[in-house]
Amino acid sequence: MVCVRCPKSCELAITFAPDGSIASICGEGCRLGTAYATEEITDPKRIVTASISIAGSMEPLSVKTAAAVSRTQVFKVLDEIKALKLKAPITTGTILKEDIAKTGVSLVATKSIG
Ligand code: SF4
């Protein structure tokens, strides 16, 4: 696994115990690598991005989660994004929905639509 937390891109070697838990992580250049590998193995997270239609606009609005959410919740987040009914105007950074899909993370606009 390659750590993507900084441009150094350390190659991490992970070994597992017989019960499937992490036995060791080697190759990290700093402690962030250990945290990255642990999260990727136990509960990987991703920022969700999408484009949605807006009433009163010919242009789609691009949106993203303000922070990464568990990959297990990505489809629930996308379902809630799809169900949103929004109207222009919307400015970049506007919180469109707090705690989307009960993730504790807000959905924000990444574009302004007048
Ligand atoms: S382990 Fe640390 S130094 Fe290496 S890529 Fe990750 S953040 Fe960068």
Q: How far is the CA of 25 from the centre of ligand 1 (A)?
A: 13
In the chain, the percentage of residues whose pLDDT exceeds 90 is 94
Mean pLDDT, residues 29-38 taken together: 97
Number of independent structural domains in the chain: 2
Say if residue 38 is in the same domain as residue 68. no
Q: How far is the CA of 68 from the centre of ligand 1 (A)?
A: 19
Say if residue 67 is in the same domain as residue 100. yes
Say if residue 35 is in the same domain as residue 56. no
Residue 114: which pLDDT band, with cuts at 50, 70 and 90?
Answer: confident
Angle at CA 17, nearest 5°, toward 27 and 25? 10
Please report the pLDDT score of residue 25 as a whole number. Answer: 97
Cis status, amide bond into 7, omega within 30 of 0: no
Domain that holds residue 28: 13-42
pLDDT tens-digit map of 71-93? 999 999 999 999 999 999 999 99
Say if residue 67 is in the same domain as residue 37. no
Say if residue 50 is in the same domain as residue 95. yes
DSSP-assigned states of every residue in 3-63: --SSTT-PBPEEEE-TTSSEEEEE--SSHHHHHHHHHHHHS-EE--EEEE--BT-SSPEEE
Instruction: Report the pocket of ligand 1 as residue ranges, CB < 6 Å.
Output: 3, 5-6, 8-10, 28-30, 32-33, 36
Give the Cα separation of 10 and 40 in Å (integer). 15
pLDDT tens-digit map of 41-77? 999 999 999 999 998 888 999 999 999 999 999 999 9
